[in-house]
Amino acid sequence: MTRPNFITLTDEQVRARKRRNVAIALGLVGFIVLVFIVTVVNLQRNTEARKAAEAAAVGTVLRADPALPAPAAAPAEGAAVAEPAQ
């Protein structure tokens, strides 16, 4: 049985590999953190936009029904204009 053509890494090669591995690990962790931040911020913005849209829709229904008294206070100017979700 022939043995595969193994090579032994020098200390310098091992050190370089270790440093590269650490850099890759840091890069991946950084990427995960960035994706997490983006997700949280976008979720927050979309939730706020949805709330604003719902509030505007309720105001519209109340105004459109003649059987109901006029709403005490109309929604604030611009509340219906929710920032579009990204």
Partner 1 sequence: MTMTDRPTRETPLVTTSQPEDFFQLLKPRVMSLVVFTAVTGLVVAPGHPNPLLAAIAVLCIAVGAGAAGALNMALEGETDALMRRTRGRPVAAGRVRKNDAMAFGVILSIFSVMLLGMTTNWLAGGLLALTIIYYAGFYTLLLKRRTPQNIVIGGAAGALPPVIGWAAVTGQAPWQAWLLFLIIFLWTPPHSWALALYSAGDYAKAGIPMMPVARGAKSTRLQILIYSLIFVPVAIAPAFLGLGGVVYLAVSVAGGLFFLALAFRLWRSRAGDQPDKAEAVGREAALYDVRAEAKPARNLFAFSILYLMALFSALLVEQLPGLGA
Q: Which stretch binds partner 1 (CB under 8 A): 8-16, 52-60, 69-77?
A: 8-16
Q: Say how many C-beta atoms besides its own lie within 10 A of residue 19's C-beta.
A: 10
**What's the min distance (Å) between Cβ of 47 and partner 1?**
14
Angle at 9 between CA 7 and CA 11, to 5 degrees: 160
Length of the chain: 86
Helix (H, G, I), strand (E, B) or coil at 83: coil
* Residue 86 found at the interface with partner 1 (CB under 8 A): yes
Which of 45, 46, 75, 79 is close enough to bind partner 1 by CB under 8 A? 45
Closer residue to partner 1, CB minimum distance, 13 or 47: 13
